[in-house]
Amino acid sequence: MAGIKKVYLDNNATTPCDPRVVEAMLPYFYEHPGNAASRSHPFGWEAEGAVDLARQQIADLIGADEKEIIFTSGATESDNLALKGVYEMYVRKGNHIITATTEHKAILDTCKRLEKQGAEITYLEVNQEGLIDLKLLEAAIKPTTILVSIMWANNETGVIQPIKEIGEICARHGVLFMSDATQAVGKIPVNPRENGVHLMAFTSHKMYGPKGVGALYVSRKDPRVKVTAQMDGGGHERGMRSGTLNVPGIVGFGKAAAIAKAEMADEAIRLSALRDKLESGFMAKLEEVYLNGAKSHRMPHVTNLSFKHVEGEGLMMTFNQNIALSSGSACTSASLEPSYVLVALGLGDDLAHSSLRFSLGRFTTEEDIDYALEAVSEGVNHMRNLSPIWEMYKEGVDLNSIVWETH
Amino acid sequence: MAYSEKVLDHFKHPKNVGTLDKNDSTVGTGLVGAPECGDVMRLQIKVNPDTQKIEDAKFKTFGCGSAIASSSLATEWLKGKSIEEALKIDNMDIVEELALPPVKIHCSVLAEDAIKSAIKDYKTKNALS
């Protein structure tokens, strides 16, 4: 649709594939079609060489050895492989896993499945800033604990957990530490070894690479970690993940990693300035705007804001022909329950329903931010004009004094 | 999720947004839903005491596009109706008119509840049964 402005501020959902990445991938569809596991002819060797390079590029980005990179179909599979694989491998040692309530569903739902298989899971709560309490973590560790799984950065709020401190606690107690770093890798410096992380899940399509390819970092020394394969077959990826490698995808992932390594420091500075402009712009233009999550411990490109007394999904309708972003209101789901991540921060369902997540990216321009600031503010004003609770708030009615008819 | 044209039209150009004096004896007010659920609907009717017909209706709604469209449509339908006729408005009529998908049926239920609640308020105020 020519002439309609489109602004993409949903980079935590997925990032556009960088054109340099696409260019690197293209020869691996037709010109170099080999299977990286074909050891007996040049087509296979070319594919294997390309995968080796990509593995090195990805390892370089996170300060790992290339043998520590296991390719998967994405972060969900990596999370599943890490949790289920560790549980199966180490269950004789113990059945207890510690995680947090604000983890991604790929972790939480995998934990639920493991519970059915006999695992005991502790779900740590977070404080108002979205951070776990290190004392509670340490207190939760017991002789049967085999794994702690805490995400590097949260997808909804961008809040960064104290990974190094968690790694130290895990090392002190001889417990494995897994981190879902999907939202962090390629955006901020992430080094599992330096932070005591033994397993780490991440994916290509959140860092300007193609969809359908991800990785699990598995530490090879101090300690050497093993996971039981969850996919049986040809014994690829050192027996941990069978299945023909997605060569073009892996090449793109590698290229994306190399670009991120070179550019992410500058990109973070540019994006945090734009993010701050957006955030302070809303605070200046509108009343009753609240920031969700720790201001000082978060990703440079994300802000999660609640616009009180308007409902997020309705608000999005005022501009969603032009601006893409996400809401913590889950009015589309039959459950009517808002974001569990925001509720875990103690937000109250009303503020959670009023939230919008803005996630900026490599291709976000200052013009995009100016446009979003205007359009979203206009939308908030439109919705507040329609909102009975905004009217009551303005009249000074104590909204907590009203007996609401919940349904 | 894609919305129907009618929902989009009511959302962009809502009819009868506003507030009537809730202390006026000819006005009935219904406030249903809860902020925690993501929907609050306030629907008001003004009844002509002589004809017992609804001569004005206003709403304000906190909620998604379907909730706003449902209340906007309800106010349009209410105008000119008698109390008895208004009580016959069924949520499924709203679902049909706006082509609401199953996950949005609760919005139409809320609108029906708001109508009934406004009428109840009017009747209570005027000692009608």
Q: How confident is the model at residue A330 (pLDDT cuts 50, 70, 90)?
A: low
Question: Lowest mean pLDDT: which of A85-89, A100-104, A317-321, A326-330?
Answer: A326-330
Contacts of A348 in chain B (CB under 8 A): 36
Q: How confident is the model at residue A335 (pLDDT cuts 50, 70, 90)?
A: low
Residue A5 pLDDT > 90 = no
Cβ–Cβ of B60/A386 closer than 8 Å? yes
Cβ–Cβ of A311/B39 closer than 8 Å? yes
State the residue for tokens 């996170």. Answer: A62
State the residue for tokens 């290229």. Answer: A255
Cβ–Cβ of A388/B62 closer than 8 Å? yes
State the residue for tokens 């809401």. Answer: A327
Residue A348 pLDDT > 90 = no
pLDDT of residue A349: 81
Nearest to A317 among B11, B42, B61 (CB): B11
Highest average pLDDT, of A197-201, A314-318, B11-15, comes from: A197-201
Q: 0.95 exceeded by the pTM?
A: no
The residue-averaged pLDDT of A86-112 equals 97
Q: How confident is the model at residue A4 (pLDDT cuts 50, 70, 90)?
A: confident
Residue A405 pLDDT > 90 = no
Q: How confident is the model at residue A407 (pLDDT cuts 50, 70, 90)?
A: low
pLDDT higher at B37 or A353: A353
Residue A334 pLDDT > 60 = no
Percent of chain A with pLDDT over 70: 97
Q: How confident is the model at residue A350 (pLDDT cuts 50, 70, 90)?
A: confident
Query: Residue A309's closest chain B neighbor by CA?
Result: B62
State the residue for tokens 């190094």. Answer: A164
Residue by residue, what is the 3-state secondary structure of A296-347? CCECCCEEEEEECCCCHHHHHHCCCCCEECEECCCCCCCCCCCCHHHHHCCC
The residue-averaged pLDDT of A364-374 equals 97
Question: Lowest mean pLDDT: which of A107-116, A207-216, A325-334?
Answer: A325-334
Residues 6+ apart with CB under 8 A from A87: A95, A97, A114, A117, A119, A146, A147
- Give dist(CA A352, CA A143) in Å, integer: 38
Predicted-complex ipTM score: 0.90
The answer, for A320 touching chain B at a CB cutoff of 8 Å, is: no
pLDDT of residue B3: 83
The pLDDT tens digits for A211-255 are 999 999 999 999 999 999 999 999 999 999 999 999 999 999 999
- Give dist(CA B4, CA A207) in Å, integer: 35
Residue A2 pLDDT > 70 = no
Cβ–Cβ of B36/A348 closer than 8 Å? yes
pLDDT of residue A1: 44
pLDDT of residue A260: 98
Q: What is the DSSP letter of B2?
A: P
Residues A395 and A346 sit within 8 Å (Cβ to Cβ): no
Contacts of A356 in chain B (CB under 8 A): none
pLDDT of residue A292: 96
- Helix, strand, coil shares of chain A as percentages rounded to 5? 45, 15, 40
Mutation target vs B (from A310, A315, A404; most B CBs, 10 A cutoff): A404
Q: What is the average pLDDT score of chain A?
A: 95
The answer, for A391 touching chain B at a CB cutoff of 8 Å, is: yes
The pLDDT tens digits for A253-297 are 999 999 999 999 999 999 999 999 999 999 999 999 999 999 999
> Strand A69-72 to strand A214-218: parallel, antiparallel, or no bridges (unpaired)?
antiparallel
**Interface list for B 72-101 with A (CB within 8 A):** none
- Give dist(CA A54, CA A291) in Å, integer: 38
pLDDT of residue B48: 95
Q: How far B33 CA lies from chain A's nearest CA (Å)?
A: 5
Q: Nearest-CA neighbor of A76 among A53, A100, A108?
A: A108
Cβ–Cβ of A329/B17 closer than 8 Å? no
Alpha-helical regions (H) of B2-90: 5-12, 65-78, 83-87
Residue A363 pLDDT > 60 = yes
Residues in chain B predicted with pLDDT less than 50, given as ranges, are none
